[in-house]
Amino acid sequence: MCRRRLPPYQRDILEIQSLKVKGGVIPIAGKTKVRLSASPENIIFNFGFSTNANRKPIRLRRKLEGFDSNWNIGGGAMFLVVRFYDSAGNIVARNDFEVRGESPGWRNNLTDSALTHRRETVVVPPGAARLLVIVSSAGPQATEGVYIVSDLTVSTGSSNSPPKVLLQFPNRQFHKDDTSSLSPDIWVRDGISPSMAKIIELGDAPTIKALEILDDDPLGHAEWHNSLELAPTVTPGESIIVEWNEMFSIGECGARWSIYPSLPPGNFVFRVREFDLMGAPTGVEASLPVFVPPPFWKTWWFGASLPQFCWLQWRHFYAISFG
């Protein structure tokens, strides 16, 4: 398999910056392989973009080959939130429905990926009068990626009467110039970087509209939410059913270290790889091979010398004891 050759401006922009064991710095500059002591503890790999990098990082994953079975994607998260307010506009309670990693059927793009249906039930808390639904990337600060929500319906659940729809995001065939179904007075872009919140088109025949958060700013976030002034009224004790379809690919770019409490003997390769907002590898990667030797009592030379050592010790004991 041929490895894709990167343009010169993208080479060496990601690097393993330091390695520490038990708080001590292990020299790695100019080395193709680093040898650690036997039974190392508190191993810390520091990594990041080099000082002369001409662009900011996107999403980073890391893996210690020979030890980790999967890539560590970091702690990025996004949310669909159901928030309740009292009649004075104060927050009474919230229910966070978190998404991390990648949704089932994700294929690194919006065209080939599959939506997954989700259904949640919440109970209106005491004192609540209105309801807000928020699609947000306001998780950990370094979160980056994409979160898509379509077919959003919020309704009351009752065994005595049919469900009553309180809030809905449109899902129907439409013309590109038709903006009537966007309900501009109901759905509001918000957050530190509201431009990252978009309306997109998915599928064809029919095409549907979906809420998208495309977060490429580790210091900001974006969100969609219904207007509080036009928010549906609720009654304490009511069951609220929230249903939607979603797909997502979420990671982070802020983590700059990986910690391992201990490592067994063996050969390992610590790798850091960059991915784009859709979760596809960019080809930018850095790696550092590491060797951990076995303890001396597990080495072949120790095993080979042990019988001779025991024989000498026995002879010494015999000579002292019996002359």
Indicate if 68 and 108 belong to the same structural domain. no
* Residue 1 included in any domain: no
Full residue range of the structural domain in which residue 273 is found: 8-74+255-292
CATH code, domain carrying 55: 2.60.40.10
- The pTM of the full predicted model, rounded to 2 decimals, is 0.81
Indicate if 91 and 167 belong to the same structural domain. yes
* Residue 2 included in any domain: no
* Residue 158 included in any domain: yes
Indicate if 93 and 68 belong to the same structural domain. no
Structural domains of the chain, count = 3
Indicate if 173 and 97 belong to the same structural domain. yes
Instruction: Calculate the average pLDDT of the chain.
Output: 85
49 neighbors 323 (Cβ within 8 angstroms): no
Indicate if 153 and 215 belong to the same structural domain. yes
Q: CB under 8 Å to 27, separation ≥6 — which residues? A: none
Note the pLDDT tens digit of each residue in 236-273. 999 999 999 999 999 988 778 999 999 999 999 999 99
pLDDT bucket at 199, cuts 50 / 70 / 90: very high
* Residue 3 included in any domain: no
In Å, what is the CA distance from 278 to each residue of 109, 200, 214, 228, 258?
Answer: 6, 15, 9, 32, 23
pLDDT bucket at 158, cuts 50 / 70 / 90: low
Note the pLDDT tens digit of each residue in 95-125. 999 999 999 999 999 999 999 999 999 999 9
